[in-house]
A = this chain, B = another copy of it.
Amino acid sequence: MPEPTTIMQEQPTHKVVFQPSGRNGLLPTGMTLLEAARRLGVGLEAVCGGRATCGKCLIYVETGTFPKYGLYSAADHLSPPEPDEQRLLEARGTPAGSRLACRARIQGDLLITVPPASRSQPQVIRKDATARTLELDPAIRCYPLTLASPVEEDGSEEERILEALRAQFGLEAVHFDPPALRELPHALREGRDALTVTVWQERAILRVEPGHRGQALGLAVDIGSTTLAAYLCDLTSGALLATVAAMNPQVTFGDDIMSRISHATEQPEGRRQLHEGVIAALNALAQEATGKLGLTPKAIVDCVLVGNSVMHHLALDLDPGSLGGTPFLPVVRKAVDVRAAELGLRLHPGARAHLLPLEAGFVGADNVAVLLAEAPHRQDALTLIIDVGTNGEIVLGNRERLLCTSAATGPALEGAQITHGMRAAPGAIERVRIDPRTLEVRFKVIGQEAWSDALPPEGVEARGICGSGIIEAVAELFTAGIIEASGRFDKHREHPRLIRAEGKPAFLLAEAAQTATGTPIVITQSDVRAIQLAKAALYVGARFLMQALGVKRVDRIVLAGAFGSLIDKQRAMTLGMIPDCDLEQVFSVGNAAGDGARIALLSRVKRREAADLARRVEHVTTSLEGDFQEQFVAALAFPHASDPFPHLPRAEADA
């Protein structure tokens, strides 16, 4: 039997430090820097999976003696570049010391600098996890155990392990989950005296592995009505390892949550279809995310799921029928802990799933996650948080009090029900600028660095327009006077870009030559109407909360959402999507729900805080207020045309 020291002699280790994070460790000869970065929780891009084609994992080797780290680093402490790597580095004109982390193998001590472009921020869809300071207190921890040889007095293999956990880590009252018990004999045969057990909440052993490795990955998932976003994290370091997103396949069965409820309750197999659809998509995301690291979903041992109440119920395979009528009770409201396999998730067989609590009716676990991420309850400033999505969720408050409501925004802001709308994927127009005088159009397409006017038409290859693009386009059309306050196209303007589509006025955004399909991309009158409906729902919801709290203006506005670029706050205000506020105090934060899910994945304290928050937030039901219809109709107009809340002094108009 080989001794561990024998392995050590054959595989000497070297000190490797990554800047700027300062993460470091002893790693064996021959390991790639990409693998080293993963081990140490350093977020490094790796798109092509180590084929030396994407160049995303570019790093620099520092040369010299670094007393701070106690090491001497040099270029030849890495394996020499092979021809394909050399070609790519030369093609890019990279400076000396540049290497691809996926190819360079450790041969000595190293100090490595990760340039900003190589740091993990991979997702074109801006469901990117924001860089936040996350508390690391995960529900799951790995314990390396060293075992004596078994004797009959041990009683059973299970008792040996529990005794070792008690003696070596002071863990009492732990039990084995069945999948871990099934892994135990194999792990004992392979690992002999060295095992690593993965324990949930210091209570349940969910995995047993041979040797002393102890990699534990977690997946934080934001289940949106339209978009799914998943964040793969290292539970030991807290590092974000991969971000992936996909469309929620449930859209096939209806765009919004009401139509999902109908499908679930009225079709014989409806609920099963919706449940299995979203679970299959989550399994695919887990596969994609772990695949980026050369792993499988079996490496995932914990996950946190957030979503609105209907998404939450369908993920759990619960009948959402009671959410569809008064008194709008969810089946279950508090946080749910369950084995991931119970939901059909094919992660590690022992993996756990945690669903954050719901607030009420349609204000779901995703909003709890937003609260965790934005923490309005820790601030004096009165904060309005608008989480823009197919089911919009709005919170107003501060450390004194928190109110919430939901808004039936519809899927237009996520690119659905828009003539040339699409999901925020490569080819989607995500930013738009229209010259008010010439109506000259510039736009930016996901996957292109340059704006459209800097490219030859055939180099643009636009395929459609995503949520952030449509918001900008409509705001620009309004600013240019093409669209009136009522949302109608100005009949008196004439311009080659002002065309007709389906018998109604429309605006030519991208010419046929600029599109991948050869068909022009246009903004139609009905597209503008869809945006009006969406922004009015959000605006009215926000104003209702202000009314309920008895305030005339808010100190801060946080725009959250994940459907393309960060929401352009200037243009959101131009459209009248948000109440007036000092523009300096409007923040566009991306997918706060996803960030909150990640926070809960990494911290048990935050899971408890989420439970407190869910109970503390007061739910305001807008549809029960008497003058909702009137106010909503008034809010359809673009701003300054009319005041949808005549009885409430408007914040800025008053000033």
Chain A residues engaging chain B, CB cutoff 8 angstroms: 150-152, 154-160, 176, 178, 181-182, 184-186, 188-189, 316-319, 321-322, 326-334, 338, 342, 358, 360-361
Find the residue from A332, A338, A358 having the highest chain B CB count within 10 A.
Answer: A332
Given contacts A151-B327, A160-B329, 7 further A-B contacts (CB under 8 A): A150-B322, A152-B328, A152-B360, A154-B329, A156-B330, A156-B333, A178-B338
CB distance from A557 to the nearest CB of B (A): 28
Q: Given known contacts A178-B338, A319-B182, is B154 in contact with A332 (CB within 8 Å)?
A: no
Q: Given known contacts A152-B327, A327-B151, A328-B152, is B333 in contact with A159 (CB within 8 Å)?
A: yes
- Choose among B157, B329, B332, B358 the residue that contacts A331 (Cβ–Cβ < 8 A): B157
Q: Which residue of B has the minimal Cβ distance to A328?
A: B152
Residues of B within 8 A of A157 (CB): 322, 329-332
Residues of B within 8 A of A322 (CB): 150, 157, 185, 188
Q: Which residue of B has the minimal Cβ distance to A338?
A: B178
Listed from nearest, the 8 A-B pairs whose CB atoms lie closest are A156-B333, A185-B319, A152-B327, A158-B332, A156-B330, A157-B331, A155-B333, A156-B332
- Choose among B156, B176, B329 the residue that contacts A156 (Cβ–Cβ < 8 A): B329
Structural contact, B182 and A332, CB atoms closer than 8 A: no
Q: Which residue of B has the minimal Cβ distance to A337?
A: B175
Q: Which residue of B has the minimal Cβ distance to A331?
A: B157
Bound-complex Cα distance A358 to B156 (A)? 10
Bound-complex Cα distance A316 to B318 (A)? 29
Q: Given known contacts A150-B329, A327-B151, is B185 in contact with A321 (CB within 8 Å)?
A: yes
Residues of B within 8 A of A176 (CB): 332
Structural contact, B329 and A178, CB atoms closer than 8 A: no
Residues of B within 8 A of A358 (CB): 156
Bound-complex Cα distance A342 to B177 (A)? 11
CB distance from A95 to the nearest CB of B (A): 48
Q: Which residue of B has the minimal Cβ distance to A332?
A: B158
CB distance from A418 to the nearest CB of B (A): 35
CB distance from A176 to the nearest CB of B (A): 7
A-B contact pairs, 26 of them (CB 8 A): A150-B322, A152-B327, A152-B361, A154-B329, A155-B333, A156-B329, A156-B331, A156-B332, A156-B334, A156-B358, A157-B322, A157-B330, A157-B331, A158-B331, A158-B332, A159-B333, A159-B334, A160-B329, A178-B317, A181-B316, A182-B316, A182-B317, A182-B318, A182-B319, A185-B331, A186-B319
Residues of B within 8 A of A178 (CB): 316-317, 338, 342
CB distance from A180 to the nearest CB of B (A): 11
CB distance from A323 to the nearest CB of B (A): 10
Q: Which residue of B has the minimal Cβ distance to A153?
A: B327
- Choose among B154, B319, B332, B361 the residue that contacts A327 (Cβ–Cβ < 8 A): B154
CB distance from A444 to the nearest CB of B (A): 43
Bound-complex Cα distance A151 to B334 (A)? 17
CB distance from A36 to the nearest CB of B (A): 32
Bound-complex Cα distance A212 to B176 (A)? 37
Structural contact, A150 and B327, CB atoms closer than 8 A: yes
Bound-complex Cα distance A159 to B331 (A)? 9
CB distance from A249 to the nearest CB of B (A): 21
Bound-complex Cα distance A327 to B151 (A)? 6
Bound-complex Cα distance A326 to B151 (A)? 8
Residues of B within 8 A of A318 (CB): 181-182, 185
Bound-complex Cα distance A157 to B331 (A)? 5
CB distance from A562 to the nearest CB of B (A): 27
Q: Given known contacts A157-B322, A186-B319, A319-B186, is B150 in contact with A331 (CB within 8 Å)?
A: no
Structural contact, A329 and B181, CB atoms closer than 8 A: no
Residues of B within 8 A of A188 (CB): 322
CB distance from A398 to the nearest CB of B (A): 24
CB distance from A271 to the nearest CB of B (A): 9
Bound-complex Cα distance A182 to B329 (A)? 15
Residues of B within 8 A of A338 (CB): 178
Residues of B within 8 A of A152 (CB): 326-329, 360-361
Q: Given known contacts A150-B327, A151-B327, is B182 in contact with A333 (CB within 8 Å)?
A: no
Residues of B within 8 A of A151 (CB): 327
Bound-complex Cα distance A330 to B185 (A)? 10
CB distance from A278 to the nearest CB of B (A): 16
Residues of B within 8 A of A189 (CB): 321
Bound-complex Cα distance A188 to B176 (A)? 35
CB distance from A328 to the nearest CB of B (A): 7
Bound-complex Cα distance A342 to B326 (A)? 37
Bound-complex Cα distance A158 to B357 (A)? 13
Residues of B within 8 A of A156 (CB): 329-334, 358
Structural contact, B329 and A155, CB atoms closer than 8 A: yes
Bound-complex Cα distance A332 to B156 (A)? 5
CB distance from A360 to the nearest CB of B (A): 8
Bound-complex Cα distance A31 to B342 (A)? 38
CB distance from A150 to the nearest CB of B (A): 6
Bound-complex Cα distance A329 to B321 (A)? 51
Bound-complex Cα distance A575 to B360 (A)? 75
Bound-complex Cα distance A185 to B151 (A)? 52
Q: Which residue of B has the minimal Cβ distance to A327?
A: B152
